[in-house]
Structure 1
């Protein structure tokens, strides 16, 4: 058996929900913005081939690649030594704020779970994804792996029985994401944040996030937009992203409802319910925020599917 899995790009934090909120992205043009991992039988051992637009930015040694390490991690959990040939199609830039490592991890572990006849159920596999992603980043955060795997907009619960749960989304919203073409270290961007916050900031964070969740369930789009404020990370990260503040001001002038940093940046996101405004904003970002030939932008909506097998689709085309 051979199979291929696709795992979509994702926004961590979604502005208002630092480490607690994440959303999967689906470009409205139908393209797939995310990594793919394929698995085929092999006589012995694990092998990895890396292809795709961003393959050259990854370590040259396959054993240093997180997909190869995922396979070792997964097989050790199963207590098995199995021959498999893996291929990673790297379609997301590293250090972009679009859940690049999460996309590779989710695609790899989802594919491995499928290949070995699903030894892990959904919640158990999600916890494995978080555990492995945590080994990379230094601590466990589900705000990229959860939406990447499950789709939708996910609120982190982290209870003994449930990692996360999906929030109702605003189907009329367009999420425009723009990657300027530079990479920023997640560890470096986290290091910019203070060790402690004033009580008033903690209260504002809780108020904005809880009110945003409330607005999602009420389907009150105006309230949700009003609450989409980042008091935890953006004040400390914005100046480290070249052109971010200028872009935010220009996007407001163009009528975008709000702008924020996707994950730890440098990708920004902005929101509108008007496709023509999204297109105008995309044109401005392409000309003023994105380095030609290095960055990209996409008008997206929330990807409701999450990670999925695509070998069925490819074989039928």
Structure 2
């Protein structure tokens, strides 16, 4: 059973490494419901990593048993292999270990580096920013460019530049602050981290960069949607769109530290169009179909790995 399992997992890994991310990145429906699309992207990433590592592991352990639990049990208890162990088995086991170590290592390294960068920037900013008298939990930074960003973490920091305050009216400022608070409240930096690590670990894989870009765009659209739900003006969509355009009109990325989430973080043009010409929301059946598909996608590699044991 293990050779068939390895082939099935390898086929699934190949599908999740290129065609599935390409189709999802080009699809139009994610903009109709960024939250559901983000769930789907997380499922694609997790299932893809489990599939490729599982395929290599299953092939490498094939001489020790007819199922993964049986083979792992035999190896861990020191039982000899029932079939000859060829060179390709050792190569597969080595690649599985290297790939798993690289993915997990890069993920951990990305988290450590990003956390340190955010802590360093937060400490520096706290020396120069001042609490806002009008916007609670918001700090003001003397900077001529219109800049707004938040630094997530255990002690989150939401910063507006003096240029942003001068550029926007009261409703637009409220929209920008609501957008940044959405990033912090929903921990969007954690949704981005696996794709940052995926792109860093597999830079030659086009799907890695495509997935990272798509998730960045969806995170910003999701923050826009959450912000809109909290705005009280007559035309909140136009208000937020004008704020995004004003912020994007400043020097690109000026004053935004690494690891921060900014209101002009990604796909500003597409987001403005989406705000002014909102697409129809996904229907309830479509939402549930996408979420069930994501759940099944996560379940499939696990079933393939464990099914031969039953």
TM-score w.r.t. structure 1 length? 0.24
Larger radius of gyration: 2
The structure with the largest strand share of the pair is 1
